[in-house]
Chain A
């Protein structure tokens, strides 16, 4: 399994963009990069995933470095509801297995 490094915590202000970084230097060429988040007292929620190209959906954008050793989850306008623990998870090609680390706890200030 690829090892990931994320900051333990980050803070943002409401309605400002947030960039959540993740290093995954041991990722293999067929590993997808997934992001999930977990709000208090809830199960994890899928946010976005990608392989090589940058990806956008209604929740967020995912910017993947050209060498794929790092990625950044971008929340374009943070809301209070975005306060959660965010997990960056590379998945082995051909495997559905999610290995959760400690993630980044995002605090959004009003």
Chain B
């Protein structure tokens, strides 16, 4: 399924670099999400956007800065990351939020490695 596309698929960066992860959904959904999946840890929800407004931030450090310019695109801006931030970053979307009964559609993630 190509409904949610993430780029790049792999990213290696130094701790002082600035980079951005991109997510695009072609499903006409109104809600978008960022998740983090570290090695041997469950997926963790980072941010939730609904109609381009951030509605949830799960105590994520400020070195991660999300942006949602429109309902189809979601970015995660990265700066001054730490080695423990190395993980798989997943984007997801759903038709709306707040109902508990709507499936989320995930992209295949960006594998981030911090040197």
Given contacts A42-B108, A45-B106, A49-B103, contact A94 B98 (CB under 8 A): yes
Chain A residue contacts of B1, Cβ below 8 A? 45
> Which secondary structure dominates where chain A touches chain B?
loop
Chain A residue contacts of B42, Cβ below 8 A? 99-102
Contact assessment for A96 and B108 in the assembled complex, using a CB-CB cutoff below 8 Å: no
Greatest chain A CB density within 10 A among B97, B98, B100 is at B100
- B109 interface residue per 8 A CB criterion: yes
Given contacts A41-B108, A100-B43, contact A91 B101 (CB under 8 A): yes
- B82 interface residue per 8 A CB criterion: no
Contact assessment for B92 and A43 in the assembled complex, using a CB-CB cutoff below 8 Å: yes
Chain A residue contacts of B92, Cβ below 8 A? 43-44
Count of CB-CB pairs between chains A and B under 8 Å: 60
Chain B residue contacts of A46, Cβ below 8 A? 103-105
Q: How far is the CA of A41 from the CA of B97 in the complex (A)?
A: 27
Chain A proximity of B13: nearest CB distance (Å): 20
Within 8 A of A (CB), among B58-81: none
Given contacts A100-B42, A100-B43, contact A43 B90 (CB under 8 A): yes
- B94 interface residue per 8 A CB criterion: yes
Contact assessment for A44 and B101 in the assembled complex, using a CB-CB cutoff below 8 Å: no
Q: How far is the CA of A96 from the CA of B29 in the complex (A)?
A: 13
Given contacts A44-B43, A101-B42, A102-B42, contact A96 B105 (CB under 8 A): no
Offer 29 A-B interface pairs, CB within 8 angstroms, sorted by A. A30-B100, A31-B100, A42-B109, A43-B90, A43-B92, A43-B106, A43-B108, A43-B109, A44-B90, A44-B92, A49-B101, A51-B101, A91-B100, A92-B100, A94-B98, A95-B98, A96-B31, A96-B48, A96-B98, A96-B99, A96-B100, A97-B45, A98-B45, A98-B104, A99-B42, A99-B45, A100-B44, A101-B42, A102-B42
Going nearest first, the 8 A-B pairs with the smallest beta carbon separation are A43-B106, A46-B103, A100-B43, A91-B100, A96-B97, A100-B42, A44-B106, A32-B101
